[in-house]
A = this chain, B = another copy of it.
């Protein structure tokens, strides 16, 4: 080993999920939205003048921040924007979790929490979800250096009611509590309603799921002005100009069309509810999802084998080869046509078992 190699930061490299390419494939593996962004986004794209690209973008992303403030009926100084909610969450870990006491998050949850905690050398503990994959509030009623959980949780899809989030906050007046609401628009209750009472609450949302804009990378946090100021201070020490001009323009544009947003999330919810009935008929069991995916297992079928059989037919779902999860598949809700093909395959597969 060369001497300079000794100073290289060692991390367990995260391997990004499969992004298969092809015309005919059915992609139900990364919780993307099956519908395009609001029509205004295409229009705004067409009208964009690339001469504006030669200048630095507004570091404060004012047009997007103001549109988000209007959307959520909060003040602009309560909004922090980033390059996807991963950027927002990573920045929040770096900014807020600087305690010797452990950060707490569930054992079964978004896998990146552990990665950021390791990267920034944050001590953490991961209390176990109960048998039904529910968060046990008593595990979070103890000394800690911060709390984060998704609501709805991933990959289970289970949502907790607002009363649960409030109990979490009441039990933890000395900690910053982050609620990661990536999937909230598909049936969860947002903790934004609690922001006025709890200055230590940060709510994180994204354009990647319900807004159909994963490819544009926009995430945001909503919180008290003091939390948002702290996030911005750290962000400006890291990279002042993260959000490029197209993201700012297209993000603000997407927020204008509430009718489209509601119609497309409603369509996904309806497809999901129908999918639940079909899965049940086929003998699958699953937590009752409030997200744009269902986390299901079949008592008579190996999840891994089914995953591989689906993949062979160009139908991609997500399989986690790890403790507590290895009997399950996470199935993103696609269009009705995609789900039809998925179920047609399942029926044939189960019939020959």
Contact = CB atoms under 8 A, between A and B. Distances in A.
A86 interface: yes
Contacts of A90: 238-239
Interface of A: 2-5, 7-9, 11-16, 19, 27, 30, 32-37, 41-42, 45-46, 48-60, 83-84, 86-87, 90, 94-99, 115-116, 118-119, 145-146, 173-176, 199-200, 208, 212-217, 226, 230, 232-234, 236-247, 250
Contact of A244 (B49, B173, B215, B239): B215
A54 B212 contact: yes
Contact of A11 (B51, B234, B241): B234
- Chain A binding surface, main DSSP class: loop
Q: Give the copy number.
A: 2
A175 B118 contact: no
Nearest to A40: B50
B8 A230 contact: yes
A51 B99 CA distance: 43
A116 B239 CA distance: 9
A267 to B, nearest CB: 13
A104 to B, nearest CB: 14
Given A2-B199, A9-B98, A54 B214 contact: yes
A144 B147 CA distance: 39
Given A94-B9, A244-B247, A246-B216, A45 B50 contact: yes
Contacts of A95: 8-9
B7 A216 contact: no
A69 to B, nearest CB: 20
A201 to B, nearest CB: 10
B4 A200 contact: yes
Given A33-B54, A36-B54, A241-B217, A9 B234 contact: yes
Name, among A96, A208, A214, the residue most crowded by chain B CB atoms within 10 Å (CB to CB): A214
A26 to B, nearest CB: 13
A13 B236 contact: yes
Contact of A57 (B4, B46, B87, B217): B217
Contacts of A199: 2
A41 B52 CA distance: 12
